[in-house]
Structure 1
Amino acid sequence: METVREAFRDECVRLEAVLGELTAADLDRPTPCPPWKVRDLVAHVRTGAGRLAGMLAEPAPPAAEVDAVTYFGAAKFTPEVDRDRVESARRDGAALPGVPATVADFARAWRATDEAVAAVPPGRVVRTRHGEPMTVTEFLRTRVVELAVHGLDLADALDRVPWLTPAAARVTAAVLTGGRLVPDALAWDDVTLLRKVTGRAPLTGDEAARCDAAGLGGLSFSG
């Protein structure tokens, strides 16, 4: 749990600093996640980072049934669910206040999650918005993945060098690969791994073959 909390905090602190450097015009830039603008993607990330605090206020299910890897399976992300996710972020993005207030809102959200997590045992079970029982540790791993992957999307939208933190890179890579070893022949750094496995960068024929042989890929992303 402490390793995952470190990754969550590191990535949130870094994103909070980046948000503090934005201008009002930056919020309306397009992103690699159409039809979202930066403001919409920020709203989506803020919701995801703060989600666990509310989940911990609910009664605990009796036992966990999924982990971070199976949470990202594509089956649950139907067109209806995806459409609701997209439109919800656009509504929240349109309602974002100025940059300083947006930064403060994100800071409150992620810190509320961090404080809520610190107050419960790692094995505490929560229910996701999809109805799946997961341990707090496993669900927090999904938050790190969302922050890391959408951090790349925001960096691209803002023409910045990706700010992926080392702790978040380790946690995210473990989820993206399902704990499998990435073939040495691929020679991917952390950012390239995230881009390639999530479809944000194309695979060459050789890379695709090596990924298939290693059992990598096939995850879907939604907060």
Structure 2
Amino acid sequence: MLSGLSEAEAVLPSRCAPWDVAALSVHTVGALLRVGLMLEEAPPGPGVGLVSAAGYYAPDVRFSPEVNGERVRSALVAAERRADAGEPGRVLRERWRPLLARLASEEGGRVVVTRHGDPMRLTDFLVTRVVEALVHGLDLADALGREPWCSREGLGVVTGLVFGGADMVAVEAVLPGAADGGAGSVAAVRAVTGRGGPVVDRDALVAAGVWWPALG
């Protein structure tokens, strides 16, 4: 999808204002390729406390106005410097295959450090990349007026993180089909991440054990 963007599509507004489609594309690709940068750095020493995938989205300094401001600014600057509308897609296509090969060679217990200084198991950090890809994929699809292209596997990862510890009987009373792996799951993810989903009783979902992420 990214490789085939037209210039007219690239400047469409997104719900992630002030980002247009181009800036949102740059940010999303950068979020995915950050894995490769982290793998080039030395892992932290033994005995460090690890941050979980859910803990990565805690409402702390990583989503402060200062950090959010830099996140917004850097994507806008990179989008302005793009050669054409399809550049983010080409960059992702060129760099993703080598990254997959690198990931396949890593040991399961590998620990990486995020740009916020969080030590995380690589497998947990990759869960956050699925969250980023799926949620911003919804943003891009909506901005472009297209049907969401969420994969069933990706939805399973995200709904597992959001609803994994919840009372699903209570969740289904608020969000029917939340765990169906299809349209119901997409609607549920939209609702919990503020992506144009149904208006829901947040207190009821929190009481049911739903994890509610902080997002920039």
Same fold (TM over 0.5): yes
Q: Which residue is equivalent to 1:71?
A: 56
The 5-angstrom pairing of residues 1-223 of structure 1 reads: 18-61=1-44, 62=46, 63=48, 65-76=50-61, 77-182=63-168, 183-185=171-173, 186-187=175-176, 188=178, 189-201=184-196, 204=199, 207-222=201-216
Does the CA contact (< 8 Å) of 1:49 and 1:109 recur in 2?
no
Q: Which residue is equivalent to 1:7?
A: none
Indicate how the Cα distance of structure 1 residues 204 and 104 shifts in structure 2: closer, same or farther if over 3 A, else same. closer
Partners of 1:36 and 1:19 in 2: CA distance = 15
Partners of 1:202 and 1:157 in 2: CA distance = 15
Partners of 1:172 and 1:221 in 2: CA distance = 14
Identity %: 37
Q: Which amino acid aligns with 1:20?
A: S
Partners of 1:69 and 1:133 in 2: CA distance = 13
Does the CA contact (< 8 Å) of 2:138 and 2:195 recur in 1?
no
Indicate how the Cα distance of structure 1 residues 100 and 156 shifts in structure 2: closer, same or farther if over 3 A, else same. closer
Deviation at 1:203, TM superposition (A): 5.4
Q: Which residue is equivalent to 2:181?
A: none
Matched positions, count? 204
Deviation at 1:220, TM superposition (A): 1.8
Q: Which amino acid aligns with 2:97?
A: R
TM (norm. structure 2) is 0.87
TM (norm. structure 1) is 0.85
The DSSP-based 3-state class of the residue aligned with 1:126 is strand
The DSSP-based 3-state class of the residue aligned with 2:60 is helix
Root mean square deviation, CA, Å? 1.8
Does the CA contact (< 8 Å) of 1:195 and 1:201 recur in 2?
yes
Q: Which amino acid aligns with 2:83?
A: P
Does the CA contact (< 8 Å) of 2:191 and 2:198 recur in 1?
yes
Deviation at 1:100, TM superposition (A): 4.1
Q: Which amino acid aligns with 1:70?
A: G
The DSSP-based 3-state class of the residue aligned with 1:51 is helix
Gapped runs of 5+ residues in structure 1?
Answer: 1-17
Q: Deviations over 1:118-142 (max 9, x none)?
A: 1211210000000010011000000
Q: Taking CA–CA contacts closer than 8 Å with sequence separation of 6 or more, which of the two structures ends up with the larger relative contact order?
A: 1
